[in-house]
Chains A and B, each alone.
Chain A
Amino acid sequence: MDFVGKLKETLYSVLPIVGVVLVLNFTIAPLGESLAPFLLGAVFLVLGLSLFLAGTDIGMVPIGEKLGYVLAHKRSTVLMLVIGFIVGFCVTFAEPDVSVLASQVHSLNPSINQQFLVFMIALGLGVFVDIGLLRILKRLPLKWVLMVFYVIVFVLVAFAGQSMASIAFDASGATTGPLAVPFLLALGLGVSSATKDGQDSSFGLTGVASIGPILAVALMAIFAGRGGAGESASLASGETAHALSLWGVMLEKIKTTAIGFGPLAAIIIILQFALLHFPTVKFRKIIFGIVYSFVGIVVFLTGVDYGFVGVGRQLGQMISANYSPVVVVGLALVFGGIVVCAEPAVWVLKNQVETVTAGRIKGSLVMMFLCIGVAGAVALAMVRILFEINYLWFVFIGVGLALVLTLFSPPLFTGIAFDSGGVASGPMSTTFLLSFALGVSGSAELGFGLVGLIAISPLIAIQILGIIFRVKEKKGRGSTAGGDVPSGAVASGAVASGAVAAKEAKNAVSEK
């Protein structure tokens, strides 16, 4: 894909945040000498993210597609599950959002081993990719699968305690980041697009897969003890990043990213010769794509560590120390609204809903719902931090509501909604917003959970849209038609447009 186009998209997603930070800098929260690293960090962020996304388009996406297709052709369920697991596992190691989250967790709570956390997240994702693939093949209704596993999640999370629960939900939001999502969508599409009649079932793989990390982290917390969380670890450890030079940060990132990318690269090369057999020129292009992704991640993470995280925390600390909770929550609303409009993947979602409903639901309505949803989620996260409310309440009520809605929302919307949980929590929220929240809270006990809340909000917003769509549809057909006909019409409309929408979704997500 063209790099310039990506550059433009990323710029749109980062600029609004930079703008707000600048305004704050000149009004209520002067940043002093961390302003320059922040701006430099922002430049790195834009360059890195663009390169990374351009790389995923020509690297990971074709692999996911071909893999799904080849696996469907091999007609071996076992092979499909083995490969699905291995690749899901390796992708997580390379996922930039996960390493950002893990290093933030570690910096605030040194008792949690960073590598082990990533390992558990990866394990959880791998297993649930398999469960998601099985669901597509066995054609189980998405809502029942979600219900069963979320009930298990609730139980485990209640045992794990709220500080680990918040990390668990954050992990889930982070895992479905820019590297894994295109791959998962492509894999789901590959498996179901090779089938004539299963187009609409291609949604939902990401949604199911994202349950895995929650379960895995919760299990880890239960078995490893509560990990002595919440020692109010010194925020100074976050600030030490500034002491390192830009070059120093980058060298470290090259090292850690290489460790993350190693397994992925090895797997891809093995798959190429064992299964995929891409023709020469295509494979060369894919290798280039993966190299771009690698360089992109290094630059992106360097920017994040060098400028973004520090400033996010500093702002959080300054504002919560000097101003009333109202200001903090108000600012959170603004940040939430900006971030959601800025996430490129959200625009994808908007188009997707428009396509699926053939324009009956306006894109602006989707954006409005998501804006309100995410702004609300960020504000709620701040309220929780300021008033020290138990995180489990938010999760139980939020996810509970989302699950209840699955009973009323058309299945296609449920699929899109759960798939897009990760969409709203993109790189901007794991880097800037999370560190802002950590700054406000000043402790590991309360700071996490923000990304998880952001990821829950689309589940509710999109499903409500689905219900609105169903009601509209009913009205459109006249009241004599009876209850079943309109929903049937929605379903068949969905099947018809499923192919287009799925393709569109894939293209669009890969363009993100």
Chain B
Amino acid sequence: MLFLRNNLLVAIVDRGHAERFFAIAKKEGAGGGTIFPAKGTATNSILAALGLGDKSKEVVLILLDDDTAYRIFNAVRSEDRIQGVLALLTNEEEKDMDCKWKMITVIVNTGYADDIMDAARKAGATGGTVTHARGTGTAEDAHFLGVTIVPEKEMIMILAESDKSQAIIDAISNLECLDEPGIGIIYTNDVKEFRNLNSKKR
């Protein structure tokens, strides 16, 4: 294999489960990882409409090679104390690879996540994960009383089946409130492997 670590493992787990997950990953040979807090949006559209059902989540990012990734996927199979999903993103150019899942990522100015998730859900998405971020800003950054103001961003990750992903992207792109130049970006990654952790309790 030419690249040793060409996969990005994204684990989205309940708040407080990230360390537990990382301990397993480490035992299977993962090097280091990055953990950040996020918010899981409601999977149920009625709860979403009522504004309830959002959950605190943590996202774990680990760069690793194929072997380690599959060892981790095997190891978590017997683990029932972690709630969440596991997705292996890849940048490998394998044309014959038939990815059943895609990861859609949207980065927009803050405040639009609920509308984006609403549109995505109508187009067939089952849920999404939102985290806060900050833009790097540009030369036209506003200055106010001597302080530089940079835009607050929201990053939304949606795991969706490949055949629905285009519809979801279209639905998001056509949102009226996003009809403004420079408001954000959207991109997808192929998901090589996907697993629901502890799905029996879902």
- In the complex the two chains form, what is the Cα distance from A75 to B148 in whole Å? 11
Mark out the residues of chain A between 1 and 42 whose CB falls within 8 Å of any chain B CB in the assembled complex.
Answer: 1-3, 5
- Interface status of B132 (Cβ within 8 A of chain A): yes
Interface flags, B99-125, vs A, CB<8A=1, else 0: 000000000001111110110000000
Given A73-B142, A279-B115, A280-B115, the answer on whether A2 and B148 have CB atoms closer than 8 Å is no
Interface flags, A242-285, vs B, CB<8A=1, else 0: 00000000000000000000000000000000000011111011
- Interface status of B67 (Cβ within 8 A of chain A): no
- In the complex the two chains form, what is the Cα distance from A208 to B147 in whole Å? 21
A281 touches B52 (CB 8 A): no
B111 touches A279 (CB 8 A): yes
Mark out the residues of chain A between 72 and 125 whose CB falls within 8 Å of any chain B CB in the assembled complex.
Answer: 72-73, 75, 77
Question: For the complex, would chain A's binding face be called helix, strand, loop or mixed by DSSP majority?
Answer: helix
B54 touches A1 (CB 8 A): yes
- Nearest chain B CB to A263 CB, angstrom units: 23
- Interface status of A497 (Cβ within 8 A of chain B): no
B152 touches A2 (CB 8 A): no
Which residues of the other chain, A, contact B114 by a CB distance below 8 angstroms? 279, 281-282, 285
- Interface status of B51 (Cβ within 8 A of chain A): yes
A288 touches B112 (CB 8 A): no
Q: Which residue of B lies closest to A77 (CB)?
A: B145
Find A281's partner among B37, B55, B56, B115 (CB 8 Å cutoff): B115
Which residues of the other chain, A, contact B145 by a CB distance below 8 angstroms? 75, 77, 137-138
Which residues of the other chain, A, contact B134 by a CB distance below 8 angstroms? 193
- Nearest chain A CB to B131 CB, angstrom units: 10
A-B pairs with beta carbons under 8 A, tally: 85
- Interface status of B144 (Cβ within 8 A of chain A): yes
Given A58-B51, A507-B37, the answer on whether A194 and B152 have CB atoms closer than 8 Å is yes
B115 touches A62 (CB 8 A): no
- Nearest chain B CB to A286 CB, angstrom units: 8
Which residues of the other chain, A, contact B132 by a CB distance below 8 angstroms? 503
- In the complex the two chains form, what is the Cα distance from A503 to B56 in whole Å? 14
- In the complex the two chains form, what is the Cα distance from A58 to B37 in whole Å? 17
- Interface status of A440 (Cβ within 8 A of chain B): no
- In the complex the two chains form, what is the Cα distance from A194 to B111 in whole Å? 14
- In the complex the two chains form, what is the Cα distance from A421 to B147 in whole Å? 29
Find A197's partner among B51, B56, B147 (CB 8 Å cutoff): B147
Which residues of the other chain, B, contact A198 by a CB distance below 8 angstroms? 147
B148 touches A281 (CB 8 A): no
Given A69-B152, A195-B147, the answer on whether A3 and B177 have CB atoms closer than 8 Å is no
Which residue among B54, B147, B149 has the maximum number of chain A CB atoms within 10 Å of its CB? B147
Interface flags, B135-152, vs A, CB<8A=1, else 0: 001000011110111101
- Nearest chain A CB to B49 CB, angstrom units: 8
Which residues of the other chain, A, contact B127 by a CB distance below 8 angstroms? none
A196 touches B148 (CB 8 A): yes
Which residue among A1, A196, A281, A511 has the maximum number of chain B CB atoms within 10 Å of its CB? A281
- 7 additional A-B residue pairs with CB within 8 Å, beyond A196-B137, A503-B132: A1-B52, A65-B110, A69-B110, A72-B144, A279-B112, A281-B114, A281-B117
B-binding residues in A (CB < 8 A): 1-3, 5, 54, 58, 62, 65-66, 69, 72-73, 75, 77, 137-138, 193-198, 278-282, 284-286, 288-289, 292, 503-504, 507, 511
A-binding residues in B (CB < 8 A): 37, 49-56, 110-115, 117-118, 132, 134, 137, 142-145, 147-150, 152, 175, 177
